Copies of this chain bind each other. A is one copy, B any other.
Amino acid sequence: MNKGRMNIICSDLEGVFVPEIWINVALRTGIEELKLTTRDISDYDVLMKRRLSILKQHGLKIGDITSVIAAMEPLAGARELLDWIRGRSQIIVVSDTFTQFAGPLMKKLGWPTLFCHTLTIGPDGTVEGYNLRQPEGKKRTVQALQGLNYRVVAFGDSYNDVGMLQQAEVGILFRPPENVIREYPQFPVTHDYTALRQLLQAELDK
Q: Which residues of A contact B (CB under 8 A)?
A: 3-6, 83, 86-87, 90-92, 99, 103, 106-107, 110-115, 117-118, 131-134, 137, 140-141, 144-145, 147-150
Contacts and interface: CB of A to CB of B under 8 A. Distances in A.
Contacts of A106: 86
Nearest to A135: B4
B113 A91 contact: yes
A92 to B, nearest CB: 7
Nearest to A130: B4
Contacts of A134: 4, 148-149
Looking at A91, A115, A118, A140, which has the most chain B CB atoms within 10 Å of its CB? A115
A107 B147 CA distance: 27
- Tally of this chain's copies: 2
Contacts of A90: 113-115
B103 A87 contact: yes
Nearest to A129: B3
SS of A interface (majority): mixed
Contacts of A131: 3-4
B133 A6 contact: yes
Contact of A140 (B92, B132, B140, B147): B147
Contacts of A114: 90
A109 to B, nearest CB: 11
Contacts of A118: 4, 6
19 contacts: A3-B131, A4-B117, A4-B133, A4-B134, A6-B117, A6-B118, A83-B111, A86-B106, A86-B111, A87-B107, A90-B114, A92-B113, A110-B110, A115-B148, A133-B148, A133-B149, A133-B150, A137-B148, A140-B148
